[in-house]
Chains A and B, each alone.
Chain A
């Protein structure tokens, strides 16, 4: 619930203007939470410098669940799939508290071996996520 408080004209003398609430879109430089158990992901989390999106492989450069992104982690470039988004979603897609990604290698196989966080089961239909879904322990 993010709202910019509108200052009343009477109190301060400045005019107020309305803005949309925060959209939580995943664009370039968005900070992501790595959700698999890869060493790189853990190191990034512990160091306090989370993975940052540097490219979204999408026509609109806004990433949602199931999109591939290029991510900068610990000075490296790494590809990843988005697995959960803070953004408000359409029905039948759950909304998460954090923007989650799963790191993958260039050949498409995941870097980690397990995903403890719940993963949307709608990914089964979206693309070829069978390798990633096989690591997941909980589905939402």
Chain B
């Protein structure tokens, strides 16, 4: 025979004890004794009644539960590659020395400078619709005469190489 649990107090109901009640909607309640049954139909909340298991659980009475909770799970981080870059590529980029990075930056800047010079020439020759595009290109061309301040302006347009994460 199955040892039921009281739906109100949470205590064990041995065979031959207690009362079982079926409500109109089909819910079944097992009560250990008339005390539990009466309390239930008086609409007393078992979570406020001291001797019930639900109360003890709510107010964390008793020792066994606290021991079980102390274990913490540590999450392990895994390094993975993404679709665009394999793990090796990522590591290579991360481990670049600062000199290598500086060299890469300068390369990029030079490439961009040349691009803009070419654009400026095109802008000077073209007429009409591409007017808006001309203006910044024109400005860059003017800036291109002085060397170092231009480098700073162009840097924003340069592609990011091993930059800040």
Contacts and interface: CB of A to CB of B under 8 A. Distances in A.
A138 B26 contact: yes
Contact of B20 (A1, A94, A97, A116): A94
A140 B22 contact: yes
Contact of A95 (B16, B22, B38): B22
Contacts, number: 35
Interface residues of B, number: 14
Nearest to B42: A1
Interface SS majority for chain A: loop
Interface in B1-54: 15-24, 26, 28, 38, 41
Contacts of B15: 92
A95 B26 contact: no
A98 interface: yes
Contact of B16 (A1, A92, A117, A138): A92
Interface of B: 15-24, 26, 28, 38, 41
9 contacts: A84-B22, A91-B18, A92-B16, A95-B19, A95-B20, A95-B21, A97-B23, A117-B26, A140-B20
